[in-house]
Amino acid sequence: MLRRTLTLLRNELTKTLRTRFLWASVAAVGFVCVVMFLTIRRDDIGEINGWVYVGLVMQGVFAEVGLILIAAFSAMLMAEETATGTIRTALTAPIRRRELYLAKAGSGLLYMILVSAFALLLSLALAGLKYTFGPISDSAGVIYSTSEVVRNLVWAYALSWIPLGTLVLFGLCMSALTTRSGPAISLTVGSIILVESLKHFVEIGPFLFTQYIGAPWVVFHEVAQGVDYQWLPGMWRVGAVCGVYSVACFCLGLWRFCRRDMNL
Amino acid sequence: MPTHSPALTLTGLTKTFGRHRAVDDVTLDVNQGEMVGFLGPNGAGKSTTLYMITRLVRPTAGSIHVFGHDVRRSPVEALRHIGALVETPSFYGYLSGRRNLELVARVYGIRDRTAVDEILAQIGLTERQKDPVQNYSQGMKQRLGLGAALLGSPRLLLLDEPTNGLDPEAMREILGLVRNKVRQDGLAVFISSHLLGEVEEYCDRVAIMNGGKLACEGHVDEILAQADPVVRVTFSGDRPAPDTFRTLEGIETVVEAPGGALEFLLTGQDSAWLNRQLLERGFPVATIAPKQRTLREFFLALTGTPPDSPPTAPHTPREV
């Protein structure tokens, strides 16, 4: 099963690397990084160093454009192939449906990692042009050493995969519930926007996984500003909420995909 | 020569969509080294049956075995033996024809690049292998679909309207290729088509679906020999109007034929009886001779519908 899933994942990567969507995503994320680089001013947020800029860019990218791109990509994973009929060609091969579903999930996760890695590397590169990287210090001396900041940067980046991964599985689930990419994207992005609006009226914010998409970068931003920070217990909450959503979305999408008649 | 060990066994296969019974209790075998034509008017349940064999649609009841492997319980083992071209083949338009075949080859564990080269040569796409599939004609996509179906060296080939979009020459070339594989490699082929002439020419057996049920199944010659006779009559004088015989018991249909002739489809009667009836009514018979029915005529008599006509059922829930 693992060998077949990896083969299917390899096929998914071959296809993804040749789609315009991937490169359009990279361009969109790059554009946001550059715009933020050009517009963030010292007056707006106080003292800026390279770390602060990176923390702000990562929050900015994944609060808006990154979130929508990842949601749209995941929503297309199944629905587009169902609409064009290529899923039927894939499923007549000697594979199990769950293997294809796993490969699709893997493809979505790798896309998310690639886009977020590009945003991080570009923001680091741009920050290097204008700001300094080094220990965080104030008039009393060093607060956080460079190695501690780097360690926290890696933590923030790795932990940001948890809510973004949940977003991928949510999009994939919506994709498995629909048969065309348009409705799948509308359903995924629309439900996120709707719930985000609702949370201002109903106290549901803490129970939404989208609430936590920028959470690790908020903590990193505190590190970069030299204030007290705390990963726990906040990240436990991120893990728990995202874990519940991930399992529910994965199981629902897989169940629907495995039971669906592919005759449309 | 057929070895008669079943490549495909359908037992009581049934599929319902809501209240509509698309496939109703179909039992059928396809043997190795045999090409079986699967016929029926649109909406008869042919594609749904092929979809169930390839596990794209879940049967409501019944079982499917491919070389002894139950498709439901051991789908991977069963599908390993199947090459399928179901309906219009779909490929990734932004990838080349070759790349699309390479994706299929990977899934079948084929590492040898020459396997893809051979298939491209067989389906006549070597020259255009690097072009994106979105630039292919319908016929080229059909060829590519056949190539993908043949890539895993299947022992059972399922083809759903494989000659759609092909010109007559290409059609004969493709069917000839498939026929050769049946003869040389003992491939079993289950082919759905509305081109009855080609089915009659290339297939060993036919199975005809009508209204979701298997209406008839057997060797083409045997089926046609058992069918009620058609008698061709020419007249020395004016040809009478076909409607003249509408009420006469023993005559099912009368159709006009070239050369001023009429063709009578008889039920339970023979040409001598028809001759007597015509002479008694004063029609000057010049020649009267039984005629071997074509598969198309038999199909029309059985289903009442031409094979390529649109579906007649007004409330068919889903056309598969």
Residues 6+ apart with CB under 8 A from B274: B231, B233, B250, B251, B264, B266, B288
A41/B contact by beta carbon, under 8 A: no
User: What pLDDT sits at residue B309?
Assistant: 54
Out of B80, B103, B148, the one facing A94 most closely (by C-beta) is B80
Check pLDDT > 60 for residue B122: yes
- pTM given for the model: 0.84
Residue type, A208: L
User: Which residues of A fall within a CB distance of 8 Å from B145?
Assistant: 89
pLDDT tens-digit series, residues A13-66: 998 988 889 999 999 999 999 998 888 876 665 667 889 889 989 988 888 888
Averaged pLDDT, B269-279: 84
User: Least CA distance to B318: which residue of chain A?
Assistant: A264
Out of B77, B92, B109, the one facing A86 most closely (by C-beta) is B92
H-helix or E-strand spanning residue A230: none
CATH of B6-219, one of 1.20.140.10, 1.10.3720.10, 3.40.50.300, 3.40.50.1220: 3.40.50.300
User: What pLDDT sits at residue A115?
Assistant: 93
CA atoms B297, B303, B308, B309: torsion sign: positive
Asked if residues B290 and B179 have their Cβ atoms less than 8 Å apart, the reply is: no
Asked if residues B48 and B23 have their Cβ atoms less than 8 Å apart, the reply is: yes
CB contact under 8 A, B79 and A95: yes
A94/B contact by beta carbon, under 8 A: yes
H-helix or E-strand spanning residue A142: strand A141-144
Residue type, B194: H
**Closest approach of chain B CAs to the CA of A129, in angstroms?**
38
User: Least CA distance to B320: which residue of chain A?
Assistant: A263
Check pLDDT > 60 for residue B314: no
Within chain B, all domains assigned CATH 3.40.50.300 are found at 6-219
**Closest approach of chain B CAs to the CA of A94, in angstroms?**
5
User: What pLDDT sits at residue B144?
Assistant: 92
Strand locations in chain B (E): 6-17, 20-31, 35-39, 61-66, 69-70, 82-85, 156-160, 188-192, 205-210, 213-219, 230-235, 251-257, 261-266, 285-291
Task: Tell me A167's DSSP state.
Answer: H
Check pLDDT > 60 for residue B319: no
Taking the C-alpha atoms of residue B75 and residue B143, their distance in angstroms, rounded to an integer, is 26
Out of B89, B108, B145, the one facing A93 most closely (by C-beta) is B108
Residues of chain A with pLDDT under 70: 42-47, 264
Lowest mean pLDDT among A37-51, B184-198, B221-235: A37-51
User: In the CATH hierarchy, which fold is given to the domain comprising B228-292?
Assistant: Alpha-Beta Plaits (3.30.70)
Taking the C-alpha atoms of residue B124 and residue B144, their distance in angstroms, rounded to an integer, is 9
Taking the C-alpha atoms of residue B134 and residue B132, their distance in angstroms, rounded to an integer, is 5
Check pLDDT > 60 for residue B317: no
User: What pLDDT sits at residue A173?
Assistant: 95
Taking the C-alpha atoms of residue A64 and residue A60, their distance in angstroms, rounded to an integer, is 7
Averaged pLDDT, B71-94: 89
User: What pLDDT sits at residue A200?
Assistant: 79
Short-list B9, B13, B136, B12, CA closest to B68: B9
More confident residue, B254 or B148: B148
Lowest mean pLDDT among A249-263, B97-111, B145-159, B260-274: B260-274
User: What pLDDT sits at residue B307?
Assistant: 60
User: Least CA distance to A263: which residue of chain B?
Assistant: B320
CB contact under 8 A, B103 and A11: yes
The confidence band for B95, taking pLDDT boundaries of 50, 70 and 90, is very high
User: What pLDDT sits at residue A211?
Assistant: 85
Check pLDDT > 80 for residue B237: no
A10/B contact by beta carbon, under 8 A: yes
Highest mean pLDDT among A213-217, B192-196, B278-282: A213-217
User: What pLDDT sits at residue B232?
Assistant: 85
Out of A8, A89, A91, the one facing B91 most closely (by C-beta) is A89
User: What pLDDT sits at residue B79?
Assistant: 92
CA distances to A62, A105, A131, B179, B313 from A47, in Å: 23, 41, 11, 78, 75
User: Which residues of B fall within a CB distance of 8 Å from A261?
Assistant: 51, 56-58
Within chain B, all domains assigned CATH 3.30.70.100 are found at 228-292
Check pLDDT > 60 for residue B38: yes
SS3 state at B67? coil
CB contact under 8 A, B79 and A93: yes
Q: To the nearest whole number, what is the mean pLDDT of chain B?
A: 84
A14/B contact by beta carbon, under 8 A: yes
A197/B contact by beta carbon, under 8 A: no
Check pLDDT > 60 for residue B127: yes
Asked if residues A135 and A49 have their Cβ atoms less than 8 Å apart, the reply is: no
Could you state, in order of their start, the residue ranges of all structural domains in chain A?
2-259
Give the residue numbers in B contacting A (CB under 8 Å), as ranges.
Answer: 47-48, 51, 54-58, 75-77, 79-80, 82, 84, 86-92, 94-95, 99, 103-104, 106-109, 145, 148, 152, 318, 320
